[in-house]
Amino acid sequence: MANLLFDLGHGGSDPGAVNGNRKEKNDVHIALTVGKKVSSAGHKVDYTRTTDCSLSLAARSYMENQGQYDYFISFHRDSFSNADANGVTVYTYLNCSKRKAGTMAKEIVNAIANEANLYNRGVKEANFHVLRETKCSAVLIECGFISNAGDNKKFDEQYEKIATAIAEAILRVIGGTINEDKQQNVTQSVPVAKYRVKVNGKQIGAYANLDNAKREADKNKGIVYDMAGNKVYPYNNDSTDEQYRYSENGRFYPDRTINVRTNPTTKADAVATYSKGEYVNYDTVVIGDRYNWISYISTSGERRYMAIRDKKGDNKMWGRAE
């Protein structure tokens, strides 16, 4: 029996690619249909999410890291500004095309292309977080372009056939056949690690239950964050300058070199810098006792912080926000 973790891309406040009323986060529920078929062959299939909830990249890879999985398979729909772009692609991590992940990717991309008559864009390599930070063999499926009317028509009209094709491709690699009589309704089989405990910006644990996260924070003088990176249980120490935060999308242009930190405090590790002539897109503003900060999710899936105003100094913004 193989153990697999199916990842439904995006979700909650993150719709993924959008085309009119169509959202990628909904289309990827095909993973649940695929999972029922694969599990009917005697394999164990878990899911990063089964409902419309927000889930960070770090939370997804953390779930995989905590389990003993043979394969991690992430489900997505592609998109491009040119609506003529079409076809199916399956990604592996860098230099993995000839390993187990490469074999799985080739089976899946060929199966979808042949069954749904989608253009076969082949297997490609990418430095995606969920491919890089997972321990087991990982692939990411782009099941046609949501920005292409033809691909959407095929996806809708051949939904069941595509799901079966993906399941059969997976089973050709791990063994077994679909048993229609044993397909069961999907439940959330992996407890979602909704809360992360950090001490001085470094994660020391992740929990599905808030009370458990609070106990860990109290024991280690830490702070509890939700999956969106919002502080939900502060510990009154010097590990953060934060008083409160709120969501705001914008772009900041610094007028000097500013450190990027793992936590909203100058005591936290500096992991990068932004300088004059560069910009950063942010989604959160943090108001601190000493500094005002902007915050964003880095390419590695971690929330980062950058001070933009010294309230006890000259109280002038260190650049321009728009």
Residues 211 and 262 in one domain: no
**174 shares its domain with 229:** no
Residues 302 and 226 in one domain: no
Same domain, 64 and 95: yes
Residue 186 within any structural domain of the chain: no
Q: Same structural domain for residues 69 and 101?
A: yes
Residues 124 and 205 in one domain: no
> Is residue 117 domain-resident?
yes
For residue 238, being part of any structural domain is answered with no
- The reply to whether 190 falls in a domain is no
Domain membership of residue 189 (yes or no) is no
Q: Are residues 74 and 158 in the same domain?
A: yes
Give the CATH number for residue 169: 3.40.630.40
Q: Are 41 and 159 found together in one domain? A: yes
Number of H helices, E strands in the chain: 8, 19
Q: What is the pLDDT of residue 237?
A: 47
In a domain, 188, yes or no: no
Say which amino acid occupies 236.
Answer: N
Domain assignment present for residue 86? The answer is yes
Angle between helices 159-174 and 30-39 (to 10 degrees): 40
- Both 14 and 101 in one domain: the answer is yes
Tell me the CATH number at 280. 2.30.30.40
* Whether 212 and 93 share a structural domain: no
CB atoms within 10 A of CB 273: 12
Domain with 28 in it? 3-180
| Residue 176 maps to a domain | yes
Q: Are residue 16 and residue 137 in the same domain, yes or no?
A: yes
Can you tell me which residue has the tokens 């105003």? Answer: 309
CA distances from 235 to 72, 182, 199, 219, 223 (A): 35, 49, 10, 10, 6
Instruction: Provide the whole-model pTM.
Output: 0.62
Q: What is the pLDDT of residue 95?
A: 85
User: Which residues lie below 8 Å from residue 286, measured CB to CB, with a gap of 6+?
Assistant: 241, 242, 244, 245, 264, 292, 293, 294, 295, 305
Per-run averaged pLDDT (10 residues), the chain, 322 residues:
95 90 93 94 92 82 89 97 97 87 97 96 95 95 97 95 97 94 60 71 75 81 74 61 75 94 88 92 86 88 90 87 86
Q: How many domains does the chain have?
A: 3
Cα–Cα distance between 139 and 126 in angstroms, integer? 10
Residues 126 and 74 in one domain: yes
